[in-house]
Chain A
Amino acid sequence: MSPGSDLAALIQSVPLFSDIGGGDLEELESLLVPCDCAEGDVLFRQGDPADRVFLIVSGAVAVRAGAPAEGEVTLVEAAGRGSILGEMALNQSMQHEATATAKSDLATLTLDVETFAGLRRSRRPIAWKILRRLARQMSQRLRDVTRALSTNFGSTGANADEATGALARAPSAPDGEARVPEGRYVEFLRVLPFFRHFDEASVRQLLGSMRQWQLKRGALICEEASHATSCFIVVRGAVEITSRSEHRPAQRFGVVGPGRMVGEVSLLEPGPRTATCVAREDAVLLELGQEALDRFLEPTSSLAFPLLEALNANLIAAQLRTNAYGARLAAEHPGGPHDPLP
């Protein structure tokens, strides 16, 4: 395939593949398998194992998700040429979160998830490029969804006074005590979700560039709309993620426990922080700064792949958590907390 071909142009027009060129482009093209569908065909159903990623060449696809009482939410009215579906499965085994149906006769190219997993295991540069783009895309998507939820929905009943009080100051660092991580930490870290695919040496290498914080319940970790210089991994305890403003009560997007990361969106895709994070329980966090994160994500770093996969897994969990929050709001809006059933 020549770099100037229509197919090459199509592939490179997809943001996920925009860093792919030259030999990598030819390799990617060799992995793509044509798959044509007739109007009305179901490409995949919500809950099915995600075994392929679809790149639409021509035609259109509608993407819908189920809701209680036989409801249905249209996520994408008509995804057309250049759209990609199911790409989160490139990072890990997972189920489809929605159902995709051909709105017209459809030509697609599919990328087998297991084949890509082989590229990940072999630490191929093409896999690094795609995973890195996936991280940026998911970060931007989370930023957009979080903003939309904050704008379109009112309070879910969170404590407005608490939110206002917490905004009285914006610390540049978490409101707790910094300590040097102790040796035994590595053993505990390796049972936590974020570190499960790191070997011991990698964990120690990462730990050498991180700072540990011990926080009391209620301590402010980072604030929405502030400038981000680091992200945080929860080692022990829990962190509450909210959207807060001086002008409206807080919305709680979720609570994360040990082995989850917060604050990474603004480091992966630069911009102001998308949410406020507060210690929901007495917590221990590990702080990783922007410079160290960028260094470890370089393709030549031995930590690049496990770190990218851990970051993407965390972003996927955040996306699912935010989707669940949005689904619940959609089901309960506009009745609020008192909602007589129809």
Chain B
Amino acid sequence: MCRVLVYLGPRIALRDLLYASDNSLIRQTHDPKMLRMLNLAGCGVLAWDPTSRLPEEPLAYHSVTLPVFDRNLFAMSDKIAATAVIAHVRGVPLSSQSTVGEQNLHPFRFPGVRLAMAHNGGLAHFERMRFALARHFRPEVGAHIRGNTDSEWVYALLLSQLTDPHALHTAEEIIAAVRRTLDIIRAVREEHDIHTSSSLNLFLSNGRCIVAVRYVLDFGCYELDDPAHVRETDLAYLSLWYTRGAEYGQRDGEWRMLAGSGGGGAVLIASEPLTRDVSTWLELPEYSALSASFRPDGGNLDLFSAEL
């Protein structure tokens, strides 16, 4: 079912975001606190560093190696610092029907496009609606789809709602595209008489802003064929938490957002808090979006929330 994080703020070592805390994203592959599912199908990271050689291009790393055993990721994470990060660990049913491969790893970022996306959730009966969704793609966007996940299709659909998918978008433009995407998916589901609960927690970034969406279509509408098929995610909204402060760091042995040490402001949004102590985290309301953006003058972040 996946675990995800997005970060925006002062340069921070990837190691600190991915590995350091007691409920780190890497640890959530095998020991998540708010999900009864393992996330063993690979890991993906996009990290933007304005001091790097191509500052508009993020470092991109995707691997199906279990990140706990991935020496390359571990070694690299201490060498890379970034001001914007999306990281994702993928969870799929433990079944031979699941496809584990690099083409299915998030975050997705099509060639020439600034906006990247990761997804936590799933579209019920995707196989029945996929080609109806494709009718809403821009052809040049749809042509880049490589995998067989619903997530990548949601990404293509969202990009297709932007006036220019290759531009650098504001958080407000991204949220407007999310709204249109949700409307299209809802309409296609209606066309195909699909009314099963489907989670769409989305995490987006273009290096200058981050957007997180907490949404479920037909929340609470589980399948009626067999009580054994009622899922955890049918009964409770998928979690999505955030924390903010001057910078993310360590104090008294605990990782948390720290107050006013001269940093310009940082926001961290994740499927679940990266620390077992959740007291410094807040939960994003259901059916809502949260965004953070660097100001043009490079000062503090602008935070914006919206109901969807």
Query: For the complex, what is the distance from the CA of A341 to the CA of B307, rounded to whole Å?
Result: 20
Using Cβ atoms and an 8 Å threshold, which residues of chain A touch B224?
188
Whether the Cβ atoms of A331 and B282 lie closer than 8 Å is yes
Chain A binding surface SS class: loop
A238 within 8 A of B: yes
A258 touching B234 in the complex, CB below 8 Å, given contacts A70-B258, A238-B219, A324-B283: yes
Query: For the complex, what is the distance from the CA of A341 to the CA of B303, rounded to whole Å?
Result: 7
A259 within 8 A of B: yes
Partner of A70, one of B222, B280, B286: B280
Q: Which residues of B from 235 to 286 have beta carbons under 8 Å from A?
A: 235-237, 243-246, 251, 256-260, 265, 267, 276-283, 285-286
Query: For the complex, what is the distance from the CA of A177 to the CA of B257, rounded to whole Å?
Result: 49
Whether the Cβ atoms of B251 and A257 lie closer than 8 Å is no
Whether the Cβ atoms of B276 and A47 lie closer than 8 Å is yes
Whether the Cβ atoms of B251 and A70 lie closer than 8 Å is yes
Whether the Cβ atoms of A252 and B259 lie closer than 8 Å is no
Using Cβ atoms and an 8 Å threshold, which residues of chain B touch A255?
219, 237, 286-287
Number of chain A interface residues as a range: 35 or more
A23 within 8 A of B: no
Whether the Cβ atoms of B306 and A337 lie closer than 8 Å is yes
Whether the Cβ atoms of B221 and A282 lie closer than 8 Å is yes
Query: For the complex, what is the distance from the CA of A342 to the CA of B244, rounded to whole Å?
Result: 10
A254 within 8 A of B: yes
Whether the Cβ atoms of A70 and B306 lie closer than 8 Å is no
Using Cβ atoms and an 8 Å threshold, which residues of chain A touch B219?
237-238, 255, 257, 280-281
Query: For the complex, what is the distance from the CA of A78 to the CA of B274, rounded to whole Å?
Result: 32
Stretch binding the partner chain, chosen from A189-197, A223-231, A263-271, A299-307: A189-197
B230 within 8 A of A: yes
Whether the Cβ atoms of B279 and A66 lie closer than 8 Å is yes
Using Cβ atoms and an 8 Å threshold, which residues of chain A touch B111?
none
Partner of A342, one of B236, B282, B300: B300
Whether the Cβ atoms of B280 and A237 lie closer than 8 Å is no
B contacts, CB < 8 Å to A: 195, 218-222, 224, 227-228, 230, 234-237, 243-246, 251, 256-260, 265, 267, 276-283, 285-287, 300-307
16 CB < 8 A contacts A-B: A66-B279, A68-B244, A68-B257, A69-B259, A157-B306, A158-B307, A191-B228, A192-B235, A238-B220, A252-B285, A255-B286, A257-B236, A258-B235, A282-B221, A337-B305, A341-B300
